[in-house]
Structure 1
Amino acid sequence: MPLAGDRPVQFQNSTLYNVAGNMNLSHATNFGESGLDILFRAVSLDAMHNAAERPADPACHPGTRGAILDELDRWSSEQLSENPVLWLHGCAGIGKSAVAQQFAASCHDRGQLGGSFFFKRGSASRGNWRSVIPTLAYQLTVAFPQLGPVIQRAVETDRLVLGKAIRQQLEKFIVQPFRDAPTLGARPILVIDGLDECEDRGAQATLIRALIGILRSGDTPLHILICSRSEPHLREVFESPEHSTVCRGLEIRPDHAAYADIRQYLTQEFSRIYQTHSARGTVLEDGWPGEETTQKLVEMSSGTFIHASTVLRYIDDEYSHPAEQLAAVLNLDPASLTPLDDLYTQILSVIPDKSILLRILHAVRQTGCLDPEQIDIVLRMRRGTSRAVLRGLHAVVQVYPVRTIGYPKRVELLHASFGDFLVDSQRSFLFCVSGEDLHNTTVHDMASALSSGSLEPPDFR
């Protein structure tokens, strides 16, 4: 015990006393993790709009998607909105994720963003529903500190809540904190993108119904933007009569405005590519590639940004001449009903060894957690083979440098539509990777590599 007049110095979980000139450290007592510490362990760090591990997901190109973003801004500013849930939907590659990311960033800058979650098919942390509510709840505690103590108590009084169903998690982490916390002043906005990429279709519908349910009563002052493809099972839930008073839909279509935005996007990016490659000594004609060529690419895009962005990545290859890459794209059938599939086929066709290509792509598609060096080990290939092959696929896959701090090392498909293409034999034909023999071989090779100790267990986060 300290003597009278001695001043204790406080440390975390302990106290240092000066007793008659002797320094005595009282024993530290650890009462366990706080509720927010427990909640943080369930957070998917790479699911947020500004996550370091998502550099391949672009926001809208400057000057594009103005009408859609203006509509979202008007909706988000309605403090007493009749439709607090907005479903932004459209076909694959139309630009939903870019809009969602741009909108989330704008809300964040204005202090309105409560949290965001971007699903990604095949990801261990972003491919299912289990981390959605914890990730959103933790972000709410950061954006609106008044909610922090209430959410922390919710976890500390029932640590099992993290293993409970969606509705129970929403009640504990969202509804109850808003009911018990002081008035926030602003109406927080939640952004959920790529709902259709959640691996459990049943969970997709359950999450929608649960979110709409907590807003129907009016006790939870939130705006929620949900983005997805226009899948029939999702349309059935969103457009049901019982949800019409809470939710409204906004479809992104390949309309005139979309074509104009794509033209602007291509024009600006071609200017950048011209300057970059000219600085490297590559000779390009003045005004390359010209208005007529740009217009052809606009028409080939069918109004989807994924086609335009993939074309640009394919052309902007530092080891190839941009004019030759562009010529290969222009040689594709301009009247094709599947221009994106044609583009994917062209990109894959430049790899000379098709058997190695398919084995590598199957490993990437099936595991979603291996880096190129691990793929070499699993497939028993000479070190560096996977990187050499995947370098030619830079337009459709993300491959990080060998030593990259702050980013994942695994190989990632840049868009879900490319993964869909690879497993559909009616679309990819010779490049299909869904064959049973290929699957069994990869599983056997990976099991052998793990059991022999030649492969460390991969990071599935």
Structure 2
Amino acid sequence: MALHTTFHNPGKAAIQTGQLTNLGTLNINLLDDHLKQLPYAAQAVFNHIDQENDLTCLQGTRVEILEEIYKWADDQNERCIFWLSGLAGTGKSTIARTVARRLYENRTLGASFFFSRGSGDVGTTNKFVTTIALQLAATSYSLQKFIGEAVQRQRNIADQSLPDQWRHLVLDPLAKVDGDPSHSSYIIIVDALDECEGSGNIGTIIQLLAEARTLKAARLRLLITSRPGFPIQQGFRGLPTDNYRVCALHDVSPDTVNRDLYVFLKTKFKLFAKDRYLGSDWPGEAVIARLVQKANGLFIWAATACRFICEDDLLSSQRLSDILRNNSTSFGPEEELNNIYLTVLTHALSSALSAKEKSFVYGLVRLILGSVVTLFSPLPVSSLSALLHNTEESEINGVLKHLHAIIDVPTDKYHALCLHHPSFCDFLLNQERCTEQNLHVGEKQAHTILTGCCIHLMSQTLMRPGVCGRNDPGVHVTDVEKNEVEQNLPPEVQYACLYWVQHLQRSGAQIHKDDQVHVFLQKHLLFWLEALCWMERLPEGILAICSLETIALTLQGHSSAVGSIVFSPDGKLLENAVSTYEQAPPVPVGHSAIHTATPPPGHCIAPPRPPPPSGADDRGIIPLVSSCCLRSSQSRSPDPPAWLRNRRAPVGIGSLLTTIHALESLSRTLGDPPRRRGPRRMVLAGILPPAPNAVSAGPTGPTAAAGDVLPCQLPAAAAGCNPNQS
């Protein structure tokens, strides 16, 4: 008996489907609340609805490699890791989906995680372990119990390091499984590991997965697919060779690959010809054989060619001829892939254009395609149009209507655009591969454009406190309906809030006085943080501010418009910039301070203080802004004041201090604060921990700051601003 279990968890998609065998009705009431705390990347699962159009292997193709994987999965004495390696476009993900489908139907799939570069949660490791753990929890009552208990013991487990998450949420629960023969073996599939951001994370994941060999009570097997890049090879190089086996798709016999390519092309063209009444043998055996030769072992070439040829009934024969026109046999796989991409792009552009029209159209194509391939999370057409504020939906649809061979354009306008294959991103951003310079997109330029678009959109949207129309400081994030948040913060605004700093980093730009970034930080910093609170993504905001450290050096004490904050190199002294272009004397950390408004109103200056005594406490406040006299206080006690302890708040949600009066905005203060591994953990710029050692508030105006800062090098500027400005 298979029981499909769903955890309802607004804002954090929970378990999609799970399988429980011979267990009858499962009572999850006691553990449901604990499991719901774990973040979940729903799109990472192999059978997520967004992947329903992704291919599996056609019957009669990839027979040998599939048999090898299935034999490995069933053999009790096999190595714990099977690494399926292959060049871009050789069919790794299709094989992984095929294996996942069979294991799922046989009830031996423990979990799956399909990485995808530039696709938000599935492009990073942030939710990797928790997503795996939640899927495992759905496979048996025992695992659900043990994983739930682990979450109950450590409520901040999702903010711990990957090794700690893996040990507590996966290894330890599996080690406790005993006496459940129906679930003694678990297979986890990790696809496209090389598309995970951060080479260091790739090596860490490989090391963690290899720990499966230590399990005794349960047998854990892992299928990993990736390109044979340096980070992957380096990760496996550190493992004993008896822990894993390797299968390289690019080393498979060319005759075997060409046989499978022929079957693929013949099947696709047969279906197309039947629908279009072209004859059962269209386009002919010889033509298919030539296409197989041009594919050069790449299934992505064959799939792209099929989509390009078959998307237009009237031009299918002409497009087929264009692909076959260059019959050179000297091209390698990458050159052939470049040629098919160029063919698709040039066909999308009309030749009957004037020079002025061509300039406009090429610019529009570069803007739209450059945005699609450099977005950190995909967006639907309507949201992309809103983000690219001078670009109409009709213009985007006009560009994309002839590019279905390259880009998956959903019929539902609310579904996101995405690439059929990440190799197109590599092609478009590489000047040596995209030889048509009118189409080539410079990566830094694309990120520069998106940085400006994000900031412009946030500046137009985040113009007042109470971003979601809620000015009551006692309102909890969990008390507001998800659709209300989405109505006030549509997808494009949420995207801008989450990723503008990353685009700024990738652009290579610096922040200068009175530039777009500077003005945004001056006017909208706190509103941006408030929006992140409503999105329940505040930790990302803290890390984004940290990322500005090397970018925002020019703001350190050089701008009167931004009350910048800075610690000395030893992390002990606090300074802030003032309106007279002079730096105020340092405030000894661990002491209270009174900040007074100076002309122009809204900018803080710290009065002189004596040097801090040796060994002074390293906790203190970060003065931000005020439109009135500001009072600050601090406690060295580890316990929060009584008036803080009595406030109600959901676990893990920090308190954003904006233009809400006095101390009323301290309502969301209890529970575990966001934590990050490493020495950079901190509470910054309006993030109130459960037991802050310092609080700064205006008696009639906005609360300005609260802090519990660990001794670390803080950003040179985390931009204070006047919340009353718009």
Regarding TM over 0.5, the answer is yes
Map 1:194-213 onto structure 2 (within 5 A).
Answer: 194-213=192-211
Which letter maps to 1:228? S
Note closer, same or farther for the CA distance 1:66–1:339 as it changes in structure 2 (3 Å cut): same
Partner of 1:148: 144
Question: What residue in structure 1 maps to residue 687 of structure 2?
Answer: none
Aligned to 1:244: 241
Residue deviations 1:179-226 (CA, integer Å, cap 9, x gap): 223333241100000000001111001110111134246565201111
Corresponding residue number in structure 2 for 1:223: 221
Shift of 1:287: 2.2
Q: Any idea what SS the aligned residue of 1:400 has?
A: coil
Matched residues in 2 for 1:437 and 1:49: separation?
34
Cα distance in 1 for partners of 2:237, 2:393 equals 52
Shift in Å, 1:58:
1.3
After the TM superposition, which residues 52-451 of structure 1 pair with which residues of structure 2 at under 5 Å, given as runs? Answer: 52-81=49-78, 83-185=79-181, 186-216=184-214, 218=216, 220-240=218-238, 242-253=239-250, 255=253, 256-278=255-277, 284=278, 287-318=281-312, 320-335=314-329, 336-337=331-332, 338-352=335-349, 353-367=361-375, 368-377=377-386, 378-403=388-413, 409-429=415-435, 430=437, 431-451=439-459
- Using the TM superposition, name which of 178-187 and 63-72 deviates more: 178-187
1:373–1:384 CA contact under 8 A, matched in 2: no
The C-alpha deviation readout for 1:93-117, integer Å capped at 9, x for no partner, is 0000000010011111111100000
Pair 1:435–1:201, CA change in 2 (3 A): closer
SS of structure 1 residue aligned to 2:190: strand
Q: What is the rounded CA distance, in whole Å, between the counterparts of 2:105 and 2:180 in structure 1?
A: 17
Q: Counterpart amino acid of 2:396?
A: S
Kindly tell me: are residues 295 and 130 of structure 1, through their superposed partners in 2, closer, same or farther at Cα, counting changes over 3 Å?
A: same
CA–CA separation in structure 1 for the residues paired with 2:445 and 2:64: 48
**Distance across 1 between alignment mates of 2:89 and 2:449:** 32
312-321 vs 430-439, greater mean Cα deviation: 430-439
Residue in 1 that maps onto 2:41: 44
| CA drift at 1:252 | 1.1
Cα distance in 2 for residues equivalent to 1:357 and 1:380: 14
Letter paired with 1:59: T
CA deviations 1:224-280 (Å, max 9, x no partner) are 11110111231233244x4212111111125221110000111111100101222xx
Question: Contact 2:44 / 2:115 at 8 angstroms: preserved in 1?
Answer: yes
Deviations, residues 371-422 of structure 1 (Å, cap 9, x unaligned):
2223333141333110121111101111112446xxxx22111111111111
Deviation (angstroms), 1:57 = 2.5
Could you say what secondary structure the match of 1:43 adopts?
Answer: coil
Q: CA deviation at 1:32?
A: 10
User: Structure 2 CA distance, aligned partners of 1:176 and 1:165?
Assistant: 15
Aligned to 2:173, what secondary structure does the other structure show? helix
Distance 2:280 2:420 in 1: 32
State the alpha-carbon separation in 2 of the partners of residues 316 and 247 from structure 1.
41
Deviation at 1:79, TM superposition (A): 2.0
Give the C-alpha shift of residue 315 in structure 1: 0.9
2:44 touches 2:122 (CA, 8 Å); kept in 1? yes
Cα distance, 1:320 vs structure 2: 4.1
For 1:227 and 1:293, locate their aligned partners in 2 and report how far apart those are by CA, in whole Å.
Answer: 32
Quick one: structure 1 residues 216 and 238, their matched pair in 2 at CA, closer, same or farther if it must change by over 3 Å? farther
| Contact 1:100 1:227 (C-alpha < 8 Å) held by counterparts | yes
SS of the residue corresponding to residue 58 of structure 2 reads coil
Kindly provide the amino acid, as one letter, of the partner of residue 277 in structure 1: R
| Residue identity in the other structure for 1:138 | L
Equivalent position amino acid for 2:170 in 1:
I
Confirm or deny: 8 A CA contact 2:203 2:234 kept in the other structure.
no
Structure 2 distance, partners of 1:438, 1:230, is 28
- 8 Å contact from structure 2 (residues 114, 191) kept in 1: yes
Residues 291-300 or 229-238, more deviating: 229-238
CA–CA distance in structure 2, aligned partners of residues 220 and 31 of structure 1: 25
SS at match of 1:393: coil
TM-score under structure 1 normalisation?
Answer: 0.86
* Residue identity matched to 1:416: P
**Deviation of the 1:145 alpha carbon:** 2.7
Distance 2:369 2:224 in 1: 31
Q: Using the alignment, how far apart are the partners of 1:403 and 1:143 within structure 2?
A: 35
Segments of 5+ residues of structure 2 without an aligned counterpart are: 1-28, 350-360, 463-488, 499-726
How far 1:363 sits from its partner (Å)?
1.5
Distance 1:219 1:332, change over 3 A: farther
What code does the residue aligned with 1:134 have?
A: T
TM-score with structure 2 length normalisation?
0.55
Distance in structure 1 (CA, Å) of the matches to 2:319 and 2:62? 28
TM-fit CA distance, 1:457: 4.4
Alignment correspondent of 2:530: none
Aligned residues: 419
Task: State the secondary structure of the residue aligned to 1:428.
Answer: coil
Q: Map 1:7-18; keep pairs closer than 5 Å.
A: none
Q: Which runs of 5+ in 1 are unaligned?
A: 1-29, 279-283
Distance 1:162 1:300 in 2: 47
